[in-house]
Structure 1
Amino acid sequence: MINRLDLRGRSLSARELVEALPRAEVRVEDAAERVAPIIAAVRRRGADELRDLAERFDGVRPHHLRVPAEAFESALAGLDPLVREAIEETISRVRTVHRAQRPQDFVVDLADGAQVRQRWVPVGRVGLYVPGGLAVYPSSVVMNVVAAQEAGVPSLAVASPPQSENAGLPHPTILAACALLGVDEVYAVGGAQAVAMFAYGARGTEEQDGAVLCEPVNVVTGPGNVYVAAAKRLVRGVVGIDAEAGTTEIAILADGTAHPDHVAADLISQAEHDPAAASVLVTSSVELAGAVEARLKDRAEGTRHSDRVLQALAGPQSAIVLVDSVEQGIEVVDAYGAEHLEIQTADAAAVAERISNAGAIFVGPYSPVALGDYMAGSNHVLPTGGCAHFASGLGVHSFIKAVQVVEYTEQALGEIASKIVAFANAEDLPAHGEAVQVRF
């Protein structure tokens, strides 16, 4: 059902370790070749191409690419009260955590009359992607929107795939979540084409959309499959992105103290997302590995999306990795750089402090990834595919930029003028020095 990789007794370099660990067969760079023509076509044809692509990939041709106001009202009215309560609780917890993320402005006085100030400024407009396909993700609406709102972004747009069951509009629960957050600019556009629309804007058709369907944004964020991640890679530089948040993955570092039912259930919880989802257990306990394998079989066959789960667990991206010790396990999970990393060891809190590369770390038996997907207060839009080595999860920082303000008096500049001239001459840029000298 799930592959085993035995690293016991092996001494691997950092590169060899990365190459040995399980990864999906479809890589972002491979997907980019298929995505590039889609981006080019959306840039060229706008709304017409978006409708053609929806018909091709989603099986429906939306009449309304921008969701009309009455659809939000209807979706909110039809929302199950318990689901509404759950969404509102998630909004509250996520907002509390993200409000604490706001960085502080500062002022530095380097000398009398020599001052540098730094202000944190939100970007002007963002495009927030919420995936559809095999599941419905109002939680991703919350994660994207709350982070942008707490950053102070003045203009927010959301895109989510159209559904044939909802007359070509996104899922009603997605629309209800947008309504609860006060977002009314939502597009029935999915996949790489949504990223292209946000990055470059899109012309509308006069009779259906007006002259302009969607204005371009400054930053595109949100999770998705490998094709969404590839599209974000291709438009990076035109717009900012959060990270390449592709198909989900979980790694669990566990020793013999871990409960096999907890471990198996958590591996399955992420395999449920997608047949390409990655579920990886790293353990120093052969007994735990065997027990988890047995529980995986029983649980996977009994869960609602068993076909999807079984395919994900059996794929090359999933494995049970045997190591000599928790110490070696730390090296392995740090090399893997998981989107979600659970620590289920005897000293989980101490182990967690030693991990540098993970989108989010879940400590102990009562902090499952499923908690982070909804109500932990943290953000569940996280870097995948090893991008946690250099990228952070979504947060307020994803939507702000630092602006430095420099203010010197004549005296303050005069005190260092000769040093600036010397530096400029050393770089063979004399005009730089002359721009200072001319003031005296």
Structure 2
Amino acid sequence: MHDIRAIRDTPDAFDAALARRGDAPVSSDILALDEARRAKISAAENAQAEQNRASKQVGAAKASGDDAEFERLRALVGEKKAEVATMQAEAKELDAQLTDTLARIANLPAGDVPDGADENDNVEVARWGDLPEFDFAPKEHFDIGGVAASMDFETAAKVSGARFVMLKGAVARIHRALAQFMIDTHVDENGLIEHQTPVLVRDEAMYGTDKLPKFGDDSYQTTNGWWLIPTSEVTLTYSVAGDVLEEPDLPRRMTAHTLCFRSEAGSAGRDTAGMLRQHQFEKVEMVSITHPDASDAEQKRMLRCAEDLLERLGVPYRTVILCTGDMGFGARRTYDIEAWLPGQNAYREISSVSTTGDFQARRMNARFKPADGGKPRFVHTLNGSGLAVGRCLIAVLENGQQADGSVTLPAVLAPYLGGKTVLSSEGTLT
């Protein structure tokens, strides 16, 4: 959510920042709506004052025996009362229109975000790991011999439809091991507090984390009104909604491993093979609630937490900063980490780490009390994948594949796999 006062003060700068995203200028429309709202509020206040004055005069007219003046003033009170009610209702409607308009405008990009139209204009900022060399044509994850029988798309389609998968046996265990490895690392070494959160949330939680009203079609809603979370960013971030935190309690760093659900509206025909783009998936999420002065440093910290997981797993990756045209609605700066997938001969996104500034905090009224006194200020919120579990499974399987259909697994997973480090070509752990 944007601060209307900032738009009033610097409308040209606001429009210029939106133009960097490729969005049309809106400040004139917003300010016209804001002016009409404030004018209606002022008119209602004036009418209320006139009503109050007339109400005081009614008693005096009755005491003096001036029946004509008494009736005139009583009629005036009724007239002003009706005017006040009408104007307050109109002001409330204008306020709702202004709030809805502001809620549909994307966050303004940070100054260091590169300008660009789409993913082709993203800028690489780091690269790690040597790409694996194979003496055979590397396969995509679902075609690897030891994987194919345990990655069941046909049964999932029979049960649920397209873009679902059933993992079985050793592959299901590797998937679980990856999630456990991520959570343990975040908790034991990265200082995040583990949470087990709901996956069903109310409208307010989706709105507060900028998923509503503009992107309702991207998520699933139950018949009784709950929303299935697209990521635990929603539950973790909204956990501080309406709170006034103490400054010494910042940053608040959280993580959760949850099921996630996305309708993938608008992605028809994209990544239909395999489990790269699913309606239901698992993710380990990182969320930080910070002091505004610390949010940029916190984003870099979170980015390193995600990159480090891939390094421990031995998965080559590159990190890019998203350009203005490719950045998500609520972000003011986003870094994507893209894992190398030999089967596709391409880097593919496995994590996004974003700072929203106070954009989400304003929507959900999340503030902190400055230690040196003064009025409460809005916190900054950040979120990042640490990591997408299914996509990490894909990367581990494809990078570790062998000519005979087996897969050499990362050593860091051995404690979670009973000490075993190989997925055999028959689909068993050895």
- TM-score of the alignment, normalized to the shorter chain, above 0.5: no
TM-score interval w.r.t. the shorter chain? under 0.3
TM-score by length of 2: 0.21
Output the TM-score relative to the length of structure 1.
0.21
**Structure (1 or 2) with the larger CA radius of gyration:** 2
